[in-house]
A and B are shown apart, each in its own frame.
Chain A
Amino acid sequence: MVVEELDILLAVAIVVVVLLNMLTSLLFLRRLPSASGQQAVVKEEDEGDEEEESDDGETEEPADEPTKEQILARRAQLIRELEQERGTRVITLIHRKEPWNKGDDEQEITLENSEEILLRLRETPPDTPIDFIVHTEGGSTFAADMIAMALKHHKGNVTVMVPFYAFSDGTYIVLAGDEVMMEKYSLLAPVEPLVDDMPANWIMAVLKRKPIETIADRTVLLAETARMETENARGFVKWLLEDKMSEDQASQVANFLVGGVMASTTPITLDVARAIGLKVTEGVPEKVYQLFETIEFSGTPGPGKKYND
């Protein structure tokens, strides 16, 4: 009896010991990656150590970021989907910093842009509606004018989508469309020409304000350029709008947008666009935003600039 009981006791003791062993080792394992009580923090820093050893923190996880090809493929796919969804041809003029842009690589409307877009427009059958996604701060007026002309001449319906902004020369393109899709906070901008980085209307104003003998020759010349540029701009806006409103209204809108009555930062919002007689729909298709997100998974901006979801 005694021996048997001892046996059982022994077994129980062993079991207890093993259990304790197991528990402690489990605890140990659990603790290991959560030494500070914040598992994720330590985990990430583990990675950090690894990485620093491997590449001295010079480049950040190169293998993890999608390649340019992957990003472009994703975009092409989204554009195809959007085209199917809306039964249109989608063309984009999007200026944003890509992970492969280095340093101060300014993004703006260039002649290369316009050539590419004009070619795509040429290849679009005349009756196919076009969705034109524009996202730009402007750039070459010459190039923007050509794009705007091509859009206006397109037979099918042209919808210009402004998910965020189309400043300066980008606004010409918006005026060229048959209709505009934008958000409540999307912005267009005045199209007052800049001559030598100065607003054209105020260059001309100097001639009236200052005795002519005290004005620099260059300014007088610039004022001449400014006069011609504003005339051009006014005429162009009028022409873009001629089939959308009465001639009288078109010329008033042209004066308003070119005339130097507004500051360069004056927001031309959805309401204003409607008020000047454009056909504006609120809201931009979800797919367009997905297109803009193709850059986000590369994690380019810091969280200050990155939205968390």
Chain B
Amino acid sequence: MGVLIVSALNSMALLYLIRPRKPQTVELEGETGKEEEEKTKEEEEPQAAQPAAPQRPTTKAGILAWRRRILEELGEERGTKVITMIHKKELWTEEGEEPEIGIEDIEAVLQAFRKTPPSKPIDLILHTPGGYASAAQMMAMAIKFHPAKVTVMVPFYAMSGGSLMSLAANEIRMEKYSVLGPVDPQIPTPDGMWPAGSLSTLVKTKPIQNITDRMIILSDAANLEIENAKAFVTWLLDGKMDKEQAERVADFLAKGYMSHATPITLDVARALGLNVVEGIPDKVYELFKTFAFTGQPYKRS
């Protein structure tokens, strides 16, 4: 009798051993994309035999799935839709490419905003050196137009266009050491990028006949860019503070009084009248660990 039971149990155990593996594979594939289904199934067999040493994912698909999971968890934790605009070098970034706000960000970020139900709050994680001005403007508009609360999280920095976007949010979350920056326009000239404010100073301080024609033309155009930036910031801040203060803040940030890299810290941002909360959820930092720092795979401690 005992033998019977044993063999029955054995076969059951064996059946059980074989069974759970398939659903598990499928579940995991769900994370990495349907396209990979076949591949993972093939891989599953040898993998199970030799347990791999715990390591970070090294493929693009793996890293993306890892991130997606963290973002989902963060969204659940906070009851928000999490959107990111993070400009960091990836393992697959082409050499010499410096990620910054580009025309591609527009589609990605705006689509995400458009797909979020109006009543759902949004957490936007920003990490950017800035970039294309019109792109930043469009995204800032989307932030301002979202009916529910939009929180911008700046774990490290969001300069220039990134700061412009932060100004549009209902709440900015940052650390004591994270920085925003001025939003004064930068003008490309044959002689490099110059702050719009500096170009207008050039024309004011040097005899006009000694300035090159192009610099005069660009400085005139630059004055309009400053006006535009100021008006835009004032509009972004409308509803967050009284108009007079909004204009002062716009002037301070867009007129080009200070270097474009001047850190606008948490305290300064607060002093300007922005709604700043100190501290960033741990999950956001977890997200940043999925990026390869200095182009090398991050070592697991």
Q: Interface of A with B (CB < 8 Å)?
A: 7, 10-11, 14-15, 18-19, 21-22, 25-26, 29-30, 32-33, 35-36, 39-52, 57, 60-61, 63-66, 96-97, 103, 137, 164-165, 167, 183-187, 189, 198-199, 202-203, 205-206, 209-211, 214-216, 218-219, 260-267, 269, 289, 292-293, 299, 301-309
Contacts and interface: CB of A to CB of B under 8 A. Distances in A.
A97 B104 contact: yes
B204 interface: no
Given A206-B213, A211-B209, A263-B185, 10 more contacts: A18-B9, A18-B13, A26-B13, A42-B54, A164-B138, A165-B106, A165-B138, A184-B142, A186-B138, A302-B99
A109 to B, nearest CB: 14
Interface of B: 1-2, 5-6, 9-10, 12-13, 16-17, 20-21, 24, 28, 31-33, 35-36, 39-40, 43, 47-48, 51-52, 54-69, 71-72, 82-88, 90-94, 99, 102-115, 127, 133-134, 137-139, 141-142, 145, 185, 208-214, 216-218, 220-221, 224-225, 227-229, 232
Given A22-B13, A22-B16, A61 B61 contact: yes
B300 to A, nearest CB: 9
B267 to A, nearest CB: 28
A178 B91 CA distance: 47
Contacts of B224: 260-263, 266
Interface of B is mostly: helix
Nearest to A11: B2
A308 B71 contact: yes
Contacts of A60: 59-61, 92
The 3 A-B residue pairs whose C-beta atoms are closest, nearest first, are A11-B2, A44-B62, A307-B112
A135 to B, nearest CB: 8
A265 B114 contact: no
Contact of B39 (A33, A47, A269, A303): A47
A43 B35 CA distance: 16
Contacts, number: 275
B71 A49 contact: no
6 contacts: A18-B10, A48-B62, A185-B145, A261-B224, A303-B67, A306-B64
Max chain B C-beta neighbours (<10 A), residue from A22, A42, A184, A205? A42
A164 B135 CA distance: 10
Contacts of A137: 103
Contact of A29 (B21, B66, B141): B21
Nearest to B232: A267
Nearest to B94: A103
A30 to B, nearest CB: 8
A146 B49 CA distance: 65
A202 B220 CA distance: 7
A33 B58 CA distance: 16
B296 to A, nearest CB: 13
Contact of B213 (A29, A35, A210): A210
Max chain A C-beta neighbours (<10 A), residue from B56, B64, B106? B106
B142 A185 contact: yes
A185 B209 contact: no
A307 B17 contact: no
A63 B43 CA distance: 15
